[in-house]
Amino acid sequence: MPAELEADALRDPIGRMQALLIREGILTEEQVNALEREVEDEVRHAADVALAAPLPLVSSIERHVYSEDLKPTDSVFATPLPPVTDPAERTMADLINHTLRDEMRRDERVVIFGEDVADASRDQHLHSGALKGKGGVFKLTAGLQTEFGSDRVFNSPLAEANITGRAIGMAVRGMKPVVEIQFFDYIWPAMHQMRNELSVMRWRSNGTFSCPIVMRVPIGGYLTGGSIYHSQSGESIFTHTPGVRVVMPSNARDAAGLLRTAIRCDDPVLFLEHKRLYREAFGRAPYPGPDYAIPFGKASTLRTGTDVTLVTYGALVPRALQAAQRLEREKDISAEIIDLRSLSPYDFETVAESVRKTNRVIVAHEDMRSWGFGAELAARIGEELFHDLDAPVRRVASMDTFVAYQPVLEDAILPQAEDLFAAMAELVAF
Amino acid sequence: MGSRTAGTQQAALRKSGGLTPEQMVQFYRTMYLSRRIDDRELLLKKQQKIFFQISCAGHEALLVAAGMAMRPGYDWFFPYYRDRAICLALGNTVTDQLLQAVGAGTDPASGGRQMPSHWTSVPLNIVSPSSSTATQCLHAVGCAEAGVYWNARPQAALGSYGAGDYRKFKNIHFHNDEVVYTSIGEGSTSQGEFWEALNTASNAKLPVVFVVEDNGYAISTPVETNTPGGNISRLIANFPNFHFSEIDGTDPEESFRAMRDAVAYCRARTRHTPVLAFSER
Ligand SMILES: Cc1ncc(C[n+]2csc(CCOP(=O)(O)OP(=O)(O)O)c2C)c(N)n1
């Protein structure tokens, strides 16, 4: 090792160049010395300046976690529902596709890429119709490449970090990538880029760089046979990362309104689309027009009640409504159902108001019970609403395992409407 | 300046890749400045006035060469933490760098949030980095794609926007011959994200200069543990559309000639992506 270090010294580029300058007669030794003294002074002076510089203020810590200029919670995103022109009831998948199309028409900075999102990878097939393209494995981006061109909608390599990292590089330059991760189960290769880059670009540069991309991700189970690698939840891992907004609509109209806000706002957004809700009869809605937006951080109370509050989101929303109807019918219990819609930020005000009225609350989600989104919500309710509670805060969630393939197991692992029914009945009887 | 004949001047100019004697002096000054900042930081670290130090020592020649071959505020830069000297060559000042080292509120790179050597400058187009190895390679690719996109659709960058539109807060600029620089240590080329970046750069023939700085070690792990055969150049050789060179990164003139050529390839839109492996061994 010492020999290696010695060899290194002989190859020191500074020594080499100094010798070169003198050898070539570009500088004399005296001139080199003068230059070096000048540099030394410059460095010493700069060190003095730096050491005397003011320290950052503790009060500034939270600045630039998100955009200081444009908040997705702003009322500018609370547009009224326009009169319905086409009453056809559309699925969530339909309205997401519609919204992407609207926003791409409106804003040429929007590009879409991901695995299999293009109508056809090869241009010659795009218009010939010879090869029917994919437009996304769930068809959510169908027709977009055909309308907007192959430089705006294109397939990525099969590499999730590639998708995310490139989108960050584009967004730094002012583009608006709306990328798709094919399944939430495969978001993990992108995790490094999401956690260490996407979320913190703005904060770490003290607000001088930002990368407000949208990541659309199909998530969740209840697919009957989705198994371990096509049923995952895991939203709390991302709500546990500052700097990224996380939303998860339960119905078609919310999906359109929240996706529009996601694209128009200036923060990175993880847009979670429940696969099971894509084409459900539940939650269909007419097309709400090209400017309908919903601000983040506003829950939606889907059913008012007086005996118990159930706070949930995603695929548990229809299951909760079903359970609430049965409770009313069979037990004369009146349950209030709150759909959070937006998980980071989330609407604690609406939850608190409801708990002050019902004095009983359940937090329910499809993700695993331990360390899930409900743990934080339950803890906060305990901290801030203790005196309003007549019963302990309860959680309903999936088992702390993976989701199995065999439907008998899947049904037992994931929370069902019956579980919500039983939990609410029990809590009211407490 | 010493006196030289016209003939030797011509030869010297060729050897230096076109650097004039004045530029050679500037080159040396920037290298030396970088080294003295490292020395000063080591001292400040010992005095517990700064809390971390990352040295550029040994890498100065190739990095100043890169900085002098490229255009600050015009080209785009995704350097890694080793790259003090290129940032100085681009126009970062000593004060800028030391303000970050002490964690000053007035640190222009991060306001005291990032460690030293996390180069960031809006006017110079040096994009804020993390400490993670290899993630920057994909950002550089996306940045180059953005340049291609803006040049193809310049109207998309225009317009004035009201409240409720992120575009109101974006300042977009681009040039049709801009080039993107990214660099990485040889150990970090083991990361998948490095290869993912090469894939897309090669496929899309993007104007990105990839610089692999091979100093033989990743902390304590020697190159052969990371790189089969111990030489990244050979592994990359079969990528299509790459212009490739392997250089002695301690030789300022050789480094400059290589950087100048690599940047020229990109600027001329020959649609070839240069990958340069610099050895400091
Ligand atoms: C993803 C990741 N893993 C581990 C580290 C810790 N780490 C910092 S530097 C380093 C070695 C890097 O070596 P190399 O790429 O050869 O660059 P060098 O520092 O030698 O210039 C490691 C392992 C890190 N910063 N990022």
Q: Which residue has 């990095």 as its token pair? A: B63
Which pLDDT band, with edges at 50, 70 and 90, does B271 fall under?
low
DSSP states along A55-120: PPPGGGTTTTSS-SS--TTSGGG-PPPPPPS----B-HHHHHHHHHHHHHHH-TTEEEEETT-SS-
Which pLDDT band, with edges at 50, 70 and 90, does A126 fall under?
confident
List domains and CATH numbers for chain A: 2-52 (no CATH), 89-277 (3.40.50.970), 300-428 (3.40.50.920)
Reported ipTM: the value is 0.96
Q: Which residue has 């088992």 as its token pair? A: A399
Which pLDDT band, with edges at 50, 70 and 90, does A2 fall under?
low
Contacts of B178 (CB under 8 A, 6+ apart): B74, B75, B76, B147, B207
**A317 within 8 A of A251, measured Cβ to Cβ:** yes
Q: Which atom of ligand 1 has the smallest separation from the CA of B189?
A: 15
Torsion of CA A45, A50, A53, A58, to 10 degrees: 180
Residue B111 CA to residue B104 CA, distance in Å, equals 6
Q: Which amino acid is at B218?
A: A
Half-sphere exposure of B109 (CA within 13 A, CB side): 28
**A426 within 8 A of A326, measured Cβ to Cβ:** no
Q: Is the pLDDT of residue B1 over 50?
A: no
Q: Which of B53, B135, B219 to mutate to test the pocket of ligand 1 (most atoms within 8 A of CB)?
A: B219
Q: Is the pLDDT of residue B135 over 60?
A: yes
Q: What is the pLDDT of residues B24-76, one digit of tens each?
A: 999 999 999 999 999 999 999 999 999 999 999 999 999 999 999 999 999 99
Collapsing DSSP to helix, strand or coil, A30 comes out as helix
Higher model confidence: residue A6 or residue B248?
B248
Nearest CA to ligand 1 atom 17: B185
Q: Is the pLDDT of residue B242 over 90?
A: no
Q: How many CB atoms lie within 10 A of CB B131?
A: 15
Residue of B64, B128, B174 for testing the chain A interface, max A β-carbons within 10 Å: B128
Residues with CB under 6 A from ligand 1: B 82, 131-133, 185-188, 213, 215, 217-219
Residue B45 CA to residue B120 CA, distance in Å, equals 21
Q: What is the pLDDT of residues B82-116, one digit of tens each?
A: 999 999 999 999 999 999 999 999 999 999 999 99
List domains and CATH numbers for chain B: 2-280 (3.40.50.970)
Give mean pLDDT, residues A280-290. Answer: 96
Q: Comparing A238-252, B130-144, B231-245, which segment has the lowest mean pLDDT?
A: B231-245
Chain A contact for B25, CB < 8 A? yes
What pLDDT is recorded for position B237? Answer: 84
- Give distance in angstroms: CA of B39 to centre of ligand 1: 21
Give mean pLDDT, residues A15-43. Answer: 96
DSSP state of A194: I
The alpha carbon of B104 is separated from its chain's Cα centroid by a whole number of angstroms, namely 25
Contacts of B123 (CB under 8 A, 6+ apart): B72, B73, B91
Q: Which amino acid is at A109?
A: R
User: Using the beta-carbon criterion (under 8 Å), do A76 and B163 form an inter-chain contact?
Assistant: yes
- Give distance in angstroms: CA of B133 to centre of ligand 1: 6
Closest alpha carbon within chain B to A28: B2
Residues of chain A contacting residue B98, judged by C-beta atoms under 8 Å apart: 46-47, 49-50
Q: What is the pLDDT of residues A295-341, one digit of tens each?
A: 999 999 999 999 999 999 999 999 999 999 999 999 999 999 999 99
Which pLDDT band, with edges at 50, 70 and 90, does A263 fall under?
very high
A230 catalytic residue (yes or no)? yes
Which pLDDT band, with edges at 50, 70 and 90, does B236 fall under?
confident
Per the DSSP assignment, residues forming a β-bridge with B274 are B243
What pLDDT is recorded for position A133? Answer: 67
User: Using the beta-carbon criterion (under 8 Å), do A39 and B29 form an inter-chain contact?
Assistant: yes
Q: What is the pLDDT of residues A398-419, one digit of tens each?
A: 999 999 999 999 999 999 999 9
What pLDDT is recorded for position B222? Answer: 87
* Proportion of chain A above pLDDT 70, given as a percent: 96
- Give distance in angstroms: CA of B187 to centre of ligand 1: 7
Give mean pLDDT, residues B165-173. Answer: 97
Choose among A163, A156, A138: nearest CA to A214: A163
Residue B57 CA to residue B62 CA, distance in Å, equals 11
The model carries a pTM of 0.96
Q: A217: part of which helix (H) or strand (E)?
A: strand A214-219
Q: What is the pLDDT of residues A182-200, one digit of tens each?
A: 999 999 999 999 999 999 9
Residue of B167, B196, B280 for testing the chain A interface, max A β-carbons within 10 Å: B196
Choose among B153, B171, B243, B254: nearest CA to B207: B243
Residue A162 CA to residue A155 CA, distance in Å, equals 12
Chain A contact for B46, CB < 8 A? no
- Give distance in angstroms: CA of A284 to centre of ligand 1: 50
Nearest CA to ligand 1 atom 21: B185
What pLDDT is recorded for position B231? Answer: 85
Give mean pLDDT, residues A228-246. Answer: 97
Which pLDDT band, with edges at 50, 70 and 90, does B8 fall under?
confident
pLDDT averaged over every residue in chain B = 93
Lookup: tokens for A196: 């260490």
Per the DSSP assignment, residues forming a β-bridge with A342 are A247
Give mean pLDDT, residues B224-232. Answer: 87
- Name the residue among B24, B153, B196 with its Cβ closest to that of A21: B24
What pLDDT is recorded for position A121? Answer: 78
Q: What is the pLDDT of residues A33-89, one digit of tens each?
A: 999 999 999 999 999 999 999 999 999 999 999 999 999 999 999 999 999 999 999
Residue A424 CA to residue A264 CA, distance in Å, equals 39
Buried b (16+ CB within 10 A) or exposed e, A108-147: bbbbbbbbbbbbbeeeeebeeeeeebbbbbbebbbebbbe
User: Using the beta-carbon criterion (under 8 Å), do A204 and B2 form an inter-chain contact?
Assistant: no
| Reduced 3-state DSSP string for A341-370 | CEEECCCHHHHHHHHHHHCCEEEEEEEECC
**A205 within 8 A of B110, measured Cβ to Cβ:** yes
Q: Comparing A187-196, A222-231, B11-20, which segment has the lowest mean pLDDT?
A: B11-20
pLDDT averaged over every residue in chain A = 96
Nearest chain B Cα distance for residue A99, angstroms? 16
Collapsing DSSP to helix, strand or coil, A335 comes out as strand
Lookup: tokens for B277: 């492996």
| Number of residues that this document lists for chain B | 281
User: Using the beta-carbon criterion (under 8 Å), do B139 and A76 form an inter-chain contact?
Assistant: no
Lookup: tokens for A167: 């989108």
Name the catalytic one among A64, A230, A274, A365.
A230
